[in-house]
Amino acid sequence: MTDVTITVNGSVRSASVPPETTLLKLLRDVFQLTGTKLGCDVGDCGACTVLVDGMAVNACLMLAAQADGRQVLTIEGLAMKDRLHPLQKVFEESGALQCGFCGPGMLLSAKALLDDNPDPSSHDIRDALAGNLCRCTGYSKIVEAVQDAARAMRDPRTEDTRQLEMHGHD
Protein backbone atom coordinates (compact mmCIF):
# COMPACT_ATOMS: atom_id res chain seq x y z
CA MET A 1 0.00 0.00 0.00
CA THR A 2 1.08 3.58 -0.65
CA ASP A 3 0.29 6.48 1.62
CA VAL A 4 -0.92 9.52 -0.26
CA THR A 5 -1.64 12.96 1.15
CA ILE A 6 -3.05 15.57 -1.19
CA THR A 7 -4.78 18.89 -0.80
CA VAL A 8 -8.12 18.47 -2.56
CA ASN A 9 -10.18 21.61 -3.05
CA GLY A 10 -8.36 23.22 -0.14
CA SER A 11 -8.64 20.36 2.37
CA VAL A 12 -5.77 18.04 3.23
CA ARG A 13 -6.80 14.42 2.75
CA SER A 14 -4.88 11.18 3.18
CA ALA A 15 -5.41 7.62 2.10
CA SER A 16 -3.54 4.36 1.94
CA VAL A 17 -4.09 2.78 -1.47
CA PRO A 18 -2.55 0.06 -3.67
CA PRO A 19 0.35 1.57 -5.64
CA GLU A 20 -1.38 1.12 -9.01
CA THR A 21 -4.33 3.29 -7.93
CA THR A 22 -4.88 6.19 -10.29
CA LEU A 23 -5.65 9.70 -9.10
CA LEU A 24 -9.08 9.26 -10.69
CA LYS A 25 -9.81 6.14 -8.64
CA LEU A 26 -8.57 7.86 -5.50
CA LEU A 27 -10.82 10.87 -6.07
CA ARG A 28 -13.92 8.92 -7.04
CA ASP A 29 -13.77 5.70 -5.03
CA VAL A 30 -11.85 6.74 -1.92
CA PHE A 31 -12.72 10.43 -1.51
CA GLN A 32 -16.19 10.02 -3.07
CA LEU A 33 -15.64 13.05 -5.32
CA THR A 34 -17.67 11.64 -8.20
CA GLY A 35 -17.96 14.94 -10.07
CA THR A 36 -14.78 13.91 -11.87
CA LYS A 37 -15.99 11.54 -14.56
CA LEU A 38 -14.64 8.19 -15.67
CA GLY A 39 -14.95 8.11 -19.45
CA CYS A 40 -12.42 6.08 -21.44
CA ASP A 41 -9.88 5.47 -18.63
CA VAL A 42 -7.00 5.68 -21.16
CA GLY A 43 -6.55 9.43 -21.58
CA ASP A 44 -8.52 9.95 -24.79
CA CYS A 45 -11.70 11.70 -23.70
CA GLY A 46 -10.71 14.22 -21.01
CA ALA A 47 -13.82 13.62 -18.89
CA CYS A 48 -11.57 13.03 -15.85
CA THR A 49 -9.64 16.31 -16.21
CA VAL A 50 -8.63 17.86 -12.88
CA LEU A 51 -6.10 20.56 -12.03
CA VAL A 52 -2.90 19.42 -10.30
CA ASP A 53 -0.89 22.41 -9.10
CA GLY A 54 -2.93 24.44 -11.58
CA MET A 55 -2.21 22.23 -14.58
CA ALA A 56 -4.96 20.32 -16.38
CA VAL A 57 -4.24 16.57 -16.26
CA ASN A 58 -6.15 13.41 -17.09
CA ALA A 59 -6.67 11.93 -13.64
CA CYS A 60 -6.94 8.46 -15.22
CA LEU A 61 -3.33 8.69 -16.43
CA MET A 62 -1.79 9.91 -13.18
CA LEU A 63 -1.07 7.62 -10.27
CA ALA A 64 -2.42 8.73 -6.93
CA ALA A 65 1.12 8.50 -5.58
CA GLN A 66 2.33 11.00 -8.19
CA ALA A 67 -0.12 13.54 -6.75
CA ASP A 68 1.29 13.09 -3.23
CA GLY A 69 1.93 16.45 -1.59
CA ARG A 70 0.29 18.41 -4.42
CA GLN A 71 -2.77 20.62 -4.79
CA VAL A 72 -5.69 19.09 -6.67
CA LEU A 73 -8.76 21.01 -7.82
CA THR A 74 -11.84 19.04 -8.89
CA ILE A 75 -15.19 20.31 -10.14
CA GLU A 76 -16.52 20.16 -6.57
CA GLY A 77 -14.04 22.90 -5.63
CA LEU A 78 -14.67 25.25 -8.56
CA ALA A 79 -17.67 27.14 -7.18
CA MET A 80 -17.32 29.54 -4.26
CA LYS A 81 -19.44 28.82 -1.21
CA ASP A 82 -22.20 31.19 -2.28
CA ARG A 83 -21.80 31.51 -6.02
CA LEU A 84 -20.75 29.67 -9.15
CA HIS A 85 -17.42 30.26 -10.83
CA PRO A 86 -17.89 32.68 -13.78
CA LEU A 87 -17.22 29.77 -16.16
CA GLN A 88 -19.96 27.67 -14.57
CA LYS A 89 -22.34 30.61 -14.60
CA VAL A 90 -21.82 31.36 -18.29
CA PHE A 91 -21.92 27.67 -19.24
CA GLU A 92 -25.26 27.34 -17.48
CA GLU A 93 -26.80 30.49 -18.95
CA SER A 94 -25.70 29.88 -22.52
CA GLY A 95 -26.62 26.21 -22.86
CA ALA A 96 -22.95 25.33 -23.37
CA LEU A 97 -23.46 21.80 -22.07
CA GLN A 98 -26.11 19.29 -23.07
CA CYS A 99 -25.78 15.85 -21.46
CA GLY A 100 -23.08 17.37 -19.28
CA PHE A 101 -20.78 14.35 -19.00
CA CYS A 102 -17.83 16.28 -20.48
CA GLY A 103 -18.70 19.31 -18.33
CA PRO A 104 -16.44 18.88 -15.28
CA GLY A 105 -13.40 18.21 -17.46
CA MET A 106 -14.32 20.93 -19.93
CA LEU A 107 -14.70 23.52 -17.16
CA LEU A 108 -11.39 22.63 -15.52
CA SER A 109 -9.49 22.69 -18.83
CA ALA A 110 -11.04 26.09 -19.48
CA LYS A 111 -10.05 27.29 -15.99
CA ALA A 112 -6.45 26.19 -16.55
CA LEU A 113 -6.43 28.14 -19.82
CA LEU A 114 -7.91 31.32 -18.34
CA ASP A 115 -5.57 31.22 -15.31
CA ASP A 116 -2.69 31.17 -17.78
CA ASN A 117 -4.14 33.40 -20.50
CA PRO A 118 -6.95 35.75 -19.49
CA ASP A 119 -7.59 36.90 -23.06
CA PRO A 120 -7.49 33.81 -25.27
CA SER A 121 -8.39 33.81 -28.95
CA SER A 122 -11.00 31.39 -30.27
CA HIS A 123 -8.15 29.21 -31.53
CA ASP A 124 -6.41 29.27 -28.12
CA ILE A 125 -9.65 28.02 -26.56
CA ARG A 126 -10.16 25.30 -29.16
CA ASP A 127 -6.54 24.23 -28.66
CA ALA A 128 -6.90 24.12 -24.86
CA LEU A 129 -10.12 22.07 -25.07
CA ALA A 130 -8.95 19.71 -27.81
CA GLY A 131 -8.37 16.95 -25.25
CA ASN A 132 -11.94 17.15 -23.95
CA LEU A 133 -14.33 15.30 -26.22
CA CYS A 134 -17.96 16.35 -26.45
CA ARG A 135 -20.51 14.33 -28.42
CA CYS A 136 -23.49 16.69 -27.94
CA THR A 137 -22.72 20.33 -28.52
CA GLY A 138 -20.36 20.66 -31.48
CA TYR A 139 -18.23 22.77 -29.08
CA SER A 140 -19.66 26.04 -30.52
CA LYS A 141 -21.43 27.24 -27.40
CA ILE A 142 -18.60 25.95 -25.19
CA VAL A 143 -16.01 28.07 -27.04
CA GLU A 144 -18.31 31.11 -26.93
CA ALA A 145 -18.97 30.55 -23.23
CA VAL A 146 -15.24 30.47 -22.41
CA GLN A 147 -14.81 33.73 -24.32
CA ASP A 148 -17.70 35.30 -22.41
CA ALA A 149 -16.35 34.07 -19.07
CA ALA A 150 -12.89 35.41 -19.92
CA ARG A 151 -14.41 38.80 -20.66
CA ALA A 152 -16.36 38.76 -17.39
CA MET A 153 -13.30 37.73 -15.37
CA ARG A 154 -11.10 40.44 -16.91
CA ASP A 155 -13.57 43.14 -15.98
CA PRO A 156 -16.06 42.32 -13.23
CA ARG A 157 -18.13 45.35 -14.24
CA THR A 158 -18.73 43.73 -17.61
CA GLU A 159 -20.28 40.81 -15.82
CA ASP A 160 -22.64 43.10 -13.91
CA THR A 161 -23.64 44.80 -17.15
CA ARG A 162 -24.26 41.46 -18.80
CA GLN A 163 -26.36 40.37 -15.85
CA LEU A 164 -28.45 43.48 -16.27
CA GLU A 165 -28.81 42.85 -19.97
CA MET A 166 -29.89 39.27 -19.38
CA HIS A 167 -32.14 39.76 -16.36
CA GLY A 168 -33.01 43.46 -16.37
CA HIS A 169 -36.35 42.93 -18.06
CA ASP A 170 -37.65 40.15 -15.86
Partner 1 sequence: MKRRGRGIACMWYPIGFTVDANPSAAVVKVNEDGTATVLTGTVETGQGSLTVLGQIAAEALGIAADDVHVVSADTDVTPMDTGAIASRTTYVTGNAIRLAAENAKAILFETAGPMLQVMPSQLEARDRKIQVKGFPQRSVSIGEVAKRAQVGLGRPPIGSASWNPPTVAMDPETGQGKPFSTYVYATQIAEVEVDDETGEVDVLRIVASHDCGTPINPMLVEGQVEGGISMGIGFALQEEMLFNAQGCQINPNLTNYIMPTSLDMPEIVVDIVENYDPTGPFGAKGVGEPSLVPTAAAILNAIHDAVGVRITSLPATSEKILTAIKAKRAGERKQVPA
Q: Which is nearer to partner 1, 19 or 100 (CB)?
A: 100
Indicate whether 58 belongs to the interface with partner 1 (CB under 8 A). no
DSSP 54-85: TEEEETTSSBGGGGTT-EEE-GGGTS-SSS--
Residue 49, strand partner residues: 58
Do residues 106 and 87 touch, judged by C-beta distance below 8 A? no
Residue 165, strand partner residues: none
Q: Which is nearer to partner 1, 42 or 80 (CB)?
A: 42
Indicate whether 169 belongs to the interface with partner 1 (CB under 8 A). no
- Residue of the chain from 3, 20, 44, 115 that contacts partner 1 (CB under 8 A): 44
- Residue of the chain from 19, 69, 118, 136 that contacts partner 1 (CB under 8 A): 136
Q: Which stretch binds partner 1 (CB under 8 A): 26-34, 61-69, 73-81, 122-130?
A: 122-130
CA atoms within 13 A on the CB side of 59: 32
Query: Residue type at 70?
Result: R
Note the residues at the interface with partner 1 (CB under 8 A). Answer: 40, 42, 44-45, 94-95, 97-100, 125-127, 129-143
